[in-house]
Amino acid sequence: MNNCVSTVFGVLGVLAALTFPAAPGHAAEAQTVLGGKLVVCGVCHGVNGLPKLEGVPIIWGLQENYLLKQLREFRHGERASDTMKKIAITLTEDEVAPAAAHFATKQWPAAPTNASFSPQSPMMAICEACHQQKLVGGVAAPRLAGQRYDYLVESMRRFAEGERKNSPEMSSLMQAIPASDREAMARYISGL
């Protein structure tokens, strides 16, 4: 992860040098600047939508409202991640919504199914209440189906242990589920 952070900030430095001297005066120029900033996202999240680093989620094809909420929470420190906060604050307030829209319009990548099969947990019915049938996401909550196992299990742990505080409902749910059941759930969800 530290290698990713170094690479990201190296790329950000180059982009800053290229974009800051000429202040954008037209919408097309602003889009070019935003496009340059979004290229940086591929360093960790993958240029084809499949992250190569452990613990990094798939963001391509996630719901726009969810991506927008997360970017704003990273910017304002409501969701903890030193790396993502540094990335999110490089976006101007006017760039946050177009950035979320950019990734929302991408197609969810076909991830190789390397997760071992796990039977469906009875808890899935509770998850589907917000994350929709087959966990494809909707207005209330993001897609989970096919998300990376390592990201899912770590997010569930962070909610359960109170480290991730940007969804009190998820914190309450995850605190009530034993770690072994959360791992089985993550294995099942990642294989969808």
State yes or no: pLDDT of 12 exceeds 50: no
The CATH code for residues 2-104 is: 1.10.760.10
How confident is the model over 115-157, as pLDDT tens digits?
Answer: 455 667 778 888 999 999 999 999 989 999 999 999 999 999 9
Q: Which of 5-14, 62-71, 180-189 has the lowest mean pLDDT?
A: 5-14
Query: What does pLDDT average to over the chain?
Result: 84
In terms of pLDDT, which residue wins out, 8 or 70?
A: 70
Task: Provide the whole-model pTM.
Answer: 0.81
1-69-59 Cα angle (round to 5): 45
How confident is the model over 76-114, as pLDDT tens digits?
Answer: 999 999 999 999 999 999 999 999 999 999 999 986 555
Contact 50, 111 (CB under 8 A): yes
Domain ranges of the chain: 2-104, 124-190
The CATH code for residues 124-190 is: 1.10.760.10
What is the gyration radius of the CA atoms in the chain, in angstroms? 17
Distance between CA 155 and CA 78 in Å, rounded?
Answer: 15
3-state DSSP call for residue 6? Answer: helix
